[in-house]
Amino acid sequence: MPPINKDQLAYTIEANQTKKGYARIRILRTDNEIPMLDSWYPIMTEQFLQIVLPYSGQQIYGFGENGHDGIMLGAGSGTMFSRHGSNYSTKTWNNFGGVHPFFMNPKGDGTTWGVLLVNSNAMDYTVTGSGSIALAAIGGILDLYFFVGSTPNHVIQLYHKVIGNPFLPPFWALGYQHWLQRIPTLASLKLAVTVLDQGGVPKKLADAYRESENRTKLHEGTLCMSAGMGEHQELPHYDLHSVYGWRQTWTTKTAMDDVSFDRTVLVSDSTYPSSGRFAGHILDSPDAEEWSSLRRAVVGVLEFNMFGIPYNTEDR
């Protein structure tokens, strides 16, 4: 690795002690000395980790997947834990299937920075109106990536360099698609296609595949947190729940590509940073009869472009 010229860095790191002898670390932009990290208030315990990050201005974007009314976040608290607790029909800061602990903060002078917290435990975040963002997790480590950019587009480009660029879907997957799973018979399916044709609705694919699920009595709809994972079950599900879908997606896409000479397409409800390299994302179904639900779904589509998964849709 070539030596780093500190004069060319977009950030500076300061390390010193407080009057009480505690370590203090600060990360600042070199162009305007805006702090991106000031470790005044870290908490590091066995099952609770927290760090508070500063932000400036009023613009905060990111933290998915939730039912946001607008793409710009206001003050509030939300969770990051992959689950089927709600959908875009509800205004909520509770997490849906996707877990994307990334946020971006454009400043009034045009400069922008972003942060990714790589942690697969259950997390939450709190955005205050006084210029701070608290990130907390119930395990793992606080693995923070800082993206120092000139514009929002620049920060997103830097972020995508880390998580990887989206996969290239096959040509047939780029057109209008209609999910017709709830149609019970072949005659009903033909009628639905006829109605689409009569209405002049374009279509590239009509998916009548009936998904197969092992619907057990686990009312939470997930594995037990004490379940073991890995070849020797040495990895607790407690620590890996939010990347379970990411790992399934990676494995499935690899197998599909091994047996097919054509480009394949895969979509998942449970996604994590870098999932876009292998699959698209299904947004939790909004209520199509409510404009507010559709508005939140549109916000979700825009957010997943930011998260590096432009191939996304809602499943109604």
The secondary structure of 160-219 as a DSSP string is: HHHH-PPP---GGGGS-EEE-TT--SHHHHHHHHHHHHHTT---SEEE---------S-T
* CATH value at residue 109: 2.60.40.1760
What mean pLDDT is predicted for residues 233-253? 85
d(CA 84, CA 95): 8
Q: How many CA atoms lie within 13 A of 232 on its CB side?
A: 1
Report pLDDT for 228: 72
What mean pLDDT is predicted for residues 49-65? 89
295 and 192 both lie in a single domain: yes
275 and 155 both lie in a single domain: no
Does 85 score more than 70 pLDDT? no
Q: How many folded domains does the chain comprise?
A: 2
pLDDT tens digits, 188-212: 878 878 887 888 877 666 666 555 5
Percent over 90 (pLDDT), the chain: 30
Q: Is residue 91 part of a domain?
A: yes
Helix (H) or strand (E) holding 258: helix 244-259
Local structure of residue 20 (DSSP, 8 states): T
112 and 183 both lie in a single domain: no
126 and 188 both lie in a single domain: no
151 and 191 both lie in a single domain: no
278 and 196 both lie in a single domain: yes
132 and 274 both lie in a single domain: no
Chosen domain end from 137, 159, 181: 159
Chosen domain end from 138, 159, 180: 159
Phi, psi for residue 286 in degrees, rounded to 5: -85, 165
Chain Cα centroid distance, residue 136: 16
Peptide bond just before 290 cis, omega within 30 deg: no
User: Can you give the residue range of the structural domain that contains 303?
Assistant: 171-314
52 and 103 both lie in a single domain: yes
Report pLDDT for 219: 47
Does 234 score more than 90 pLDDT? no
Query: Can you say whether residue 47 is alpha, beta or left, with left for phi > 0 and alpha for psi between -120 and 50 degrees?
Result: alpha
Report pLDDT for 311: 93
Report pLDDT for 218: 47
Burial class of residue 280 (count of CB atoms within 10 Å of its CB; 0-12, 13-18, 19+): buried
Report pLDDT for 204: 63
What mean pLDDT is predicted for residues 25-49? 83
Closest CA to 54 of 33, 70, 69: 33
Highest-confidence segment of 6-10, 36-40, 109-113, 289-293: 109-113
* 164 pLDDT tier (thresholds 50, 70, 90): very high
20 and 88 both lie in a single domain: yes
Report pLDDT for 216: 54
Largest CA distance in the chain: 78
209 and 259 both lie in a single domain: yes
* Tokens standing for residue 294: 């559709």
**What does pLDDT average to over the chain?**
82
d(CA 144, CA 136): 12
The letter for the amino acid at 36 is: M
Local structure of residue 6 (DSSP, 8 states): G
Give the N- to C-terminal CA distance of the chain in Å, as an integer: 50
If one compares 34 and 127, the residue with the highest pLDDT of the two is 127
